Amino acid sequence: MSALLSEAAAPVLAAARVLAVGDAPALLAIDGRCGSGKSTLAAWLAAQLPCNLVHMDDFYLPPAARRPDWAQHPGANMDFARLRAEVLAPLLAGQPARYSAYVCRLGRREEASTLPPRALTIVEGSYALHPALAVPFACKVFVTCTPDCQRLRLQQREGEHFAAFAQRWIPLEEGYLAACTPENACDFVLDTTALTV
């Protein structure tokens, strides 16, 4: 993580530190555009704090389990119910959480792993602030960048798969952001366009 991004994210770290030493379990959400630096920010916070880190990507619904018109409904490719029941509800109750991450490229779940009860759990990824998740986040962070910046970063990240990724996933994500406007309810909004993530 670049020094400039660390500086920009310093207020988020300060808020997360308070939650990480709190008396009651708390959730911090990091949502935003793909390529904006959500995962980078989450990993940076988790490296400095005693916390759990949960990735939204681990809770995609298998294609066979999605409603037929899922692409017309923002977030309908996510298993919010499983994330809430298996992970977030137990952690908020001060109990361990055991779950199996779904791996898209393999089309199946991994072996189950356990998260210990901790004061802070960070939930990062697109759709983290979708209303269907229906959990109380103590802190909400939205990460964004310009379309040109996003395209350059995703071209580097996705390589030859960029065109297919951009054609399918960016419109779905933008549909979610337009319909639910999660950034409007966030405590912090970070624009990483001018930063290295």
Parent domain of 72: 3-188
Residue 161 lies in a domain: yes
Within a domain: 195: no
Residues whose CB is less than 8 angstroms from the CB of residue 110 and which lie 6 or more positions away in sequence, other chains included? 100, 101, 102, 103
59 falls within a domain: yes
**CATH code at 27?**
3.40.50.300
Q: Where are the alpha helices (DSSP H) in 95-145?
A: none
In a domain, 193, yes or no: no
The Cα–Cα gap between 75 and 175 comes to 9
Side chain identity, residue 102: Y
3-state secondary structure of 106: coil
Task: Determine which helix (DSSP H) or strand (DSSP E) holds 180, and give its type and residue range.
Answer: helix 162-180
Tell me if 58 is assigned to some domain.
yes
Give a yes or no: residue 34 inside a domain.
yes
Is 181 a domain residue?
yes
Residue 190: in which H helix or E strand, if any?
strand 188-191
**What does the DSSP assignment read for 1-49?**
--HHHHHHTHHHHHHHHHHHT-SS-EEEEEEE-TTSSHHHHHHHHHHHS
Q: Count up the domains in the chain and report the number.
A: 1
Q: Cα(49)–Cα(136) distance, rounded to whole angstroms?
A: 20
Distant-in-sequence, close-in-space partners of 49: CB < 8 Å, separation ≥ 6? 13, 16, 17, 20, 120
**Residue 196, in any domain of the structure:** no
Please list the pLDDT of the chain residue by residue as tens digits (197 residues).
Answer: 678 778 999 999 999 999 999 999 999 999 999 999 999 999 999 999 999 999 999 999 999 999 999 999 999 999 999 999 999 999 999 999 999 999 988 888 999 999 999 999 999 999 999 999 999 999 999 999 999 999 999 999 999 999 989 998 999 999 999 999 999 999 999 999 998 88
